[in-house]
Structures are given as C-alpha cells and as structure tokens.
Structure 1
C-alpha cells in the first residue's frame, strides 16, 4: 500500500507511477521525432522524384503511412515540409563549411575545402540536394525570403574566399561568374553521382577541387596550384559533417 509523507506526496506505488509517466512521455516524444523524420524523408523522396507541384499532401501521407489528420500535427501543408527540407539542407551546408574552413587562412586551401564540402554533400545527399537546389523555387512569402537569406549567407563565404584570393594574387579575377560556375559545377553531382562507381567521394572531392583551382587560375610563385600542393580536408570527417538525417536512403515503405 502506498504511504503519504508530511507534504502529502505519496511514496511507494506512486513513485512507480511517476516514473511510468516520465517514461511514457519520453516514449511519446521519441515516437513523435521518428514520425517527423519519416515524413521529411518521404517528402524529400517524392519531391525529388515527382517535383513539388507533382506531389500532393495525400501522396506524402500514403507513402509515409501516416494518416493525413496526424500529418497536420507536424506540418500544416506540403509547403511547410518543403521549407523544412530546404532549411535543413542549407543549415548543414553552412555549418559544415564554417567548421571546415574555420582555421584555414590561405584562400586556395579555403577554396579547396569549400569545394570538398559542397561536392561531398551533393554526393552523399543527392535527393535532398536536388529538392533544395530546384524545388525551393515553389516557396513564397516569408519562407522563400528566409531560405534565400540562408543561401546568400552560404554563398558569401565563397565570394569572400575568391575575393581574398584575388587580393593576394593567388586567383585571377573572374568576377561573380566564377562563384556561380564553381557552385553549379559541384551541384550537378547530385544528378549523376552513384556510390560504387569509378570514383569514391574522396577522389571526387579532389578532382573537383583541382578543377576549381584551374578555373580560378590559381597560381603561386609563377606555378599553377593543384590539390597535391595543398591540404585537403579528411574525407571521413567531411562525410560526418555533411551527413543529413532527412536524406532518404531507401524508397519509402508506402510507395
């Protein structure tokens, strides 16, 4: 039998009850987090396969095996799911790039690191990358402005690196076109790269970094710079930094 102390709290059986409630609450939170992750992965898969406009909210519900009524607890619309996918992509790209170049001062090595992060991300997370790169255009209003701010901040790191290289006489001045060309070059990886192919991600990053240096006319002491002349981030560390939880690694169970 439970007893009551001087403050009126019960002991004995009630402790078990409190612990049970705490465990139940923790279990519900974990289940909610798993459901949210499944919805985002499913939306990411469908948006990358069919496009945003070709995907309906019921399509996502069926593929994720989550009732439409339950979906609205996590997102009020498919627009909100698109925003969530795109936001997570930009946040991971920005965080991985910032962490990788934090202690690198040399513009050429910074560029190599930025290219490696961008290439590794698009190779490892192709579906989420394609959604963020192309389908985000379907967003409007404040959501679109927020995503554009994140994208502009990410691209500014590239622009600052290129400008520093031009000032130091390491890069040729190619103008804003260079930044766009470098980003687009590595962004395309999401469309054609397949694991198990001719190149692993480490080799892919090196090849693209070399092409990036060549595009910028990177040169030091009258000699063209190549990746072998510079430090390149460890590929295992890069992959850890660009790992995106919402990237669907397999077809959703309900598709």
Structure 2
C-alpha cells in the first residue's frame, strides 16, 4: 500500500483587508490526500486559490485553520521538504546551467565538487547534455524549464509542486515538455501536484484532477480514465472527451 506523502486537512485561508476589519476568503475547508507516486492536477479560474494553496504547502503562508502534513508530520519549517517549480523559471542570468542547477545543493552545504559531479551526471538524462556552461539567455524556453525542473528535483524532496510551468511555451514545445515530464516523473518516482489552466494538459498528465470553483470555493475530484503509459492520442477517447466537456462546462459555471 502506498504511503501518504501529503495530507491537507480542513485548510482555510483568508487575506485580511486593510480598509475594514474583514477578510477575503481564498480557501475554505480544503482537503487532499496524495499517495506516493501520484500525479494530481489542479484546475480552476484565476483567483480560485490554486497558487495560494502552493504557498501554504511550502510554508510561505500559514493557514487560517487546518493542517499541512508532509509524510505525516506538521513541520513548522518545510524548506527542503517540498520541491517547488514556479511558472517563471527564475534562473539566475549570471549563472551557467551547471551553477543554476546546483543551487539547492549549495544551500544544503554540499561542496562544489560533489555538487558539480551530481548535476553533470543528470544533465544528459534531463536533455541538457552540452549545455553545462551555457547561460539562461542562450537557452530556449523549453530548455530553461528543464533546468528549473532539474533544480527542483535536486531539492531532494519526493513531493514536487509545479505551478503552470509550461504556460509560457509555444504549443509544440509545450506538448514535447508534457511528454518529457511524464517520462521524468516515472523515472524519478516523484509525487507531483500540478497547477494548470489547460484542461487537455491536466487530462494527459494526471491520475486525478481537482477542480476548484471560484464562487463557493468548492472542490470536485475527477479520476482520469486513462491507464499508463499513455500518449497524446489517448485524449481522443470518448470517455476522455466526455470528461473534458464536463470540466469545461463547470469551469464556465454551467
């Protein structure tokens, strides 16, 4: 039986307003259990609380109520226990691919020689062979995201939070990166929580999809009716098309 990697229990969060002593509800009684090796996507309109949820999981924000458990423990400091990859690659322009990727190892106190050896070993697997000494300005959007993902993996956590990492890419590169991400996820045996606005992307990547509505902050869960391994043609299956239509209708409030 797979162990529970992430447990969110009755998570609520409000941003306090300054003009009046009122609050702006972002999340209400949110619950989630993620098992080891799962891939779950979260979709919902802007302002529904998706990115705030990630900030709560990483510890950048604290919930108004509820608990965030990583491997069954409510850590006060979750630094290094969760890998986070934002929408922007956030690579340091003055550092090479090698030096950008080794950053989490540096922070952990790993000596430079050992860090370089570890990253050099992984560059080929991440499609970055020959780019160790390149700077971010010399990379395509897809290559930058590969470096960013490698850096997140080197954090060492089994749980990765990916916040719309492919949204800025062109359509062809985006499809290629989705296929690449699935291969990396399966090879690395990570647990991934993924935010996207793209319903097709959520269907292709995920085991389950969580849909957060904007008005009542309700969360609905949908199992993706696809086995693994899978390919993009599987999105043409009738059961998947029907689920896609259902998700789009609910996103539109129908």
> Do both share a fold (TM > 0.5)?
no
Judging by fraction of residues, say which structure has more helix. 1
The structure having more radius of gyration, on CA atoms, is: 1
Relative contact order, CA 8 A, sep 6+: which one is greater?
A: 1
Judging by fraction of residues, say which structure has more strand. 2
